[in-house]
Amino acid sequence: MARKGKVIINRELCKGCYWCIKACPVKVLEKDTAPNSTGTYPARTSDTDIAIKCIACGSCYEVCPDVCIQVKELF
């Protein structure tokens, strides 16, 4: 069975480099439409239905320079 995951991004720590968006092989991340408290538009999961496509590969976590991403594997 294929792995499923959930990406959790700390909006306040994200500086909007979007490396995670580029690194995601299944494209479940996108630029947020609302800024955080610093005025930065952080990354976010694109949609609840689309986020189910996450394969918990950890690529987004690995490239994040600010360590603001968690990847949870769902069973």
- 1: which residues sit within 8 A by CB, 6+ positions away? none
Query: In the prediction, which pLDDT does 1 show?
Result: 62
Domains and CATH numbers, the chain: 4-74 (3.30.70.20)
Give the model confidence (pLDDT) of 44-55 as tens digits. Answer: 998 765 557 899
Name the phi and psi angles at 23, rounded to 5. -80, -20
Q: How many CB atoms lie within 10 A of CB 67?
A: 9
d(CA 63, CA 59): 6
pLDDT (tens digit, 0 to 9) for every residue of the chain, 75 residues total?
678 899 999 999 999 999 999 999 999 999 999 999 999 999 999 876 555 789 999 999 999 999 999 999 887
- 19: which residues sit within 8 A by CB, 6+ positions away? 63, 64, 65
